[in-house]
Structure 1
Amino acid sequence: MTASPSHKTTALPLALAYAALVVYASLYPFADWRDQGIVPWAYLAAPWPRYWTGFDFGINVAGYVPLGFLCALAVLRTRPQAGAWQAVLRATVAGAVLAFAMETLQSYLPARIPSNVDLGLNALGTLVGAVLAAVLERLGALARWSRLRSGWFVQDARGALLLLALWPAALLFPAAVPFGLGQVFERLESAIAGWLADTPFLDWLPVRQFELQPLVPAVEMLCVMLGALVPCLLAYGVARAWPRRVVLAALMLGLGLAASALSAALSYGPEHAWTWMGPPVQVGIVAAAVLALLLLPLPRRLCTALLLLALCVHLGLLNQAPESAYFAQTLATWEQGRFIRFHGLAQWLGWAWPFAAIVYALAALARRPARTGIG
């Protein structure tokens, strides 16, 4: 497979983002670091652990498969002369080094237990992902994807594609309003007050004269509509033609519904997977779909401008509401057991995603407009 030197691949930023995810998941909760008085890699000589489950085995392999795939793909795209198996080797070494670093650092965390078995399974998962990328490259699937990407999206689309790929993951931590990413005002206010406690600067903070009230159904519906419409507008800003916009809008709305249902099922049980779909939410989703269809013919830059407007209005409305009444319960569920590796990461992603999208939209509007496709 050959690659154009000017081609910008999404694989590299995705690989870096996923590596950051691995670091967060491996070292959470980042608290009570201590020295045990032994070398941090002593776990390498430890015997087979007494307690082991199939879930532990599967999650340690599966968690590193995307990393191996993305690292190998990044090598194939940025250094096509290296060859498929060189890409596999480099990706596997990178994943194994990262896994070794994470297990070693876990020696300093009382809440985590380093394991040579975890290290081996992580390296195996990286190898599986890298081999998968090499096989797909040999079969020509990656070249076809590259051609498909060029036919569907403008050249400088990797920022939008990265945000679109992260959007469903950002929805995994339950929010007060479905699709309500970026609800940070109340928590930010409390955090700043805590940082400034016992200092004269605490008096500098503005005093809120009212308590945050739950959103009325009409405003909730508007928040849901804007939250579901945002990824559609983001996709419209990089899609080359309106028929592709139809597919992308349907895909993003479908992924949003699936991620929200999965979040509810993980947090409150499978029987509650769709309890969040009240009348305001249903109307908001339908309204978002209708608006997505009406906005199909608009030029890309106008869609990006509307994306920026929708994000600002959405954040303004959403941050007038308090956090979910079930937040404490959800927090306790995600902080314990199987969710300890993912708690906090999905929440931070949900907080940061809309602000990253605002930065992207501002940068896209500042660039010279392209003349290809819907212009």
Structure 2
Amino acid sequence: MCLIVYASLYPFADWRDQGISPLRFLTAPLPQYWTGFDAGANLLGYAPLGFLLTLAALRSRRIVRAVGAAVLTCAALSLAMETAQSYLPSRIPSNVDFFLNTLGGALGACSAWALEKLGVVDRWSQFRARWFAHDARGALVLLLLWPVALLFPASVPMGLGQVFERLEAALAEALLDTPFLEWLPMRDMELQPLVPAAELLCVALGLLIPCLLGYGVIRRVWQRAVCAVAVIAAGIGASALSAALSYGPDHAWAWMDLPVQVGVGLAALLAVGLLAVPRRAAAALGLLALAIHLTLLNQAPADPYFAQTLQTWEQGRFIRFHGLVQWLGWLWPYAALIHVLVRVSGRERPEAATGKT
């Protein structure tokens, strides 16, 4: 729900009363211009919310009430978001968006009900118990969010968490014309682009880190191998999709140059070599990989072509998702860092001491 609010109200700037009723969009004529991308985004954006709300309510076994409550919640949230957009000059509330959001919530709710009736939810619970440790929730959430974070254009493929240069510039701007600016330990030299070997290592570690997250909660070696294949495939696919959205379908694989290819191959070799490591050791290696990855990545500047690419997301049709995926791309490695720190420093559970890997 918080993600929907963020995507709906981004960029949270220039709030003001525009002299119209905030509910006028409900009776306004249908929009003259819309795209399939906008329609699909509005339809699919609320489907996960309806799905999850219905799953949570189905525990009461009151199916009609669970589906109805989920749809009404999605409709109420969409109405609130469209109403709030009336005070944002950069956003345009729409009755079509409201209808599609509600329909998306209904589709998600009905999908959850259908999966429950077919027994898929129970089979997922059994699958989760066979494959993952009982405390795997945090790692699974991070693994599901990782491909989404890769959709935001990165200056280095698989390179998430490149925030040092932005933080330094934002802090300097905030402290401009104050004496505190002189106290900052500002750099004397400009950041230098990564050499091919460092770029190769960043790519390899960027792919290896989610593999190690999975190894930390997956029970058996062959299951880890399946996870590694899925992670590498998802990383390559998400990066290709990001390039296609940013530069066009003809350039979907333009990022796959020689250092990136070698980095992907190195990540695959390391993932195979580490298949049998204990779960806590996988978390410790993940911590080390994150530290090296973030250190290397934040020693490099964002290239000028990368800055131009961001304008497509900030000003084009991706504005609804720009803020969301941008924050995911910035913060995902640091959330993973906290997760592996907790796993490394936490007490070993009895289940993890049975010798299963």
The TM-score range, normalised by the shorter chain, is over 0.9
Whether 1:27 aligns to 2:9 is: yes
Whether 1:118 aligns to 2:106 is: no
Whether 1:74 aligns to 2:56 is: yes
Partner of 2:72: 93
Deviates more, 1:364-373 or 1:257-266: 364-373
1:1-375 equivalences in 2 (<5 Å): 19-76=1-58, 80-372=59-351, 374=356
The 2-side partners of 1:53 and 1:284 are apart by 38
AA in 1 matched with 2:72: V
Moved over 6 A (4+): none
AA in 2 matched with 1:51: Y
What TM-score results when the alignment is normalised by the length of structure 1? 0.91
CA-CA distance at 1:37 after TM superposition: 3.2
CA separation of 1:236 and 1:61: change in aligned 2, threshold 3 A: same
The 1-side partners of 2:66 and 2:112 are apart by 9
Deviates more, 1:47-56 or 1:207-216: 47-56
Gaps of 5+ in 2: none
For residues 313-335 of structure 1, the C-alpha deviation after alignment (integer angstroms, 9 at most, x for no partner) is 10001111001332221121112
The 2-side partners of 1:56 and 1:179 are apart by 27
What SS class does the counterpart of residue 295 from structure 2 fall into?
A: helix
The 2-side partners of 1:70 and 1:324 are apart by 40
The 1-side partners of 2:170 and 2:187 are apart by 15
CA-CA distance at 1:45 after TM superposition: 2.4
CA-CA distance at 1:365 after TM superposition: 2.2
CA separation of 1:175 and 1:337: change in aligned 2, threshold 3 A: closer
The 1-side partners of 2:219 and 2:339 are apart by 18
Note if contact 1:180-1:318 (Cα within 8 Å) is conserved in structure 2. yes
Partner of 1:16: none
AA in 2 matched with 1:332: Q
CA-CA distance at 1:278 after TM superposition: 1.1
Kindly, what percent of the aligned residue pairs are identical?
63
The 1-side partners of 2:265 and 2:18 are apart by 56
AA in 1 matched with 2:19: G
The 1-side partners of 2:184 and 2:96 are apart by 50
For residues 128-156 of structure 1, the C-alpha deviation after alignment (integer angstroms, 9 at most, x for no partner) is 01100110000001110110011110111
Note if contact 2:45-2:101 (Cα within 8 Å) is conserved in structure 1. yes
What TM-score results when the alignment is normalised by the length of structure 2? 0.95
Deviates more, 1:324-333 or 1:287-296: 324-333
For residues 236-274 of structure 1, the C-alpha deviation after alignment (integer angstroms, 9 at most, x for no partner) is 000011111000010011000000000111111111111
CA separation of 1:367 and 1:209: change in aligned 2, threshold 3 A: same
Note if contact 2:13-2:88 (Cα within 8 Å) is conserved in structure 1. yes
The 2-side partners of 1:111 and 1:127 are apart by 28
Gaps of 5+ in 1: 1-18
AA in 2 matched with 1:239: I
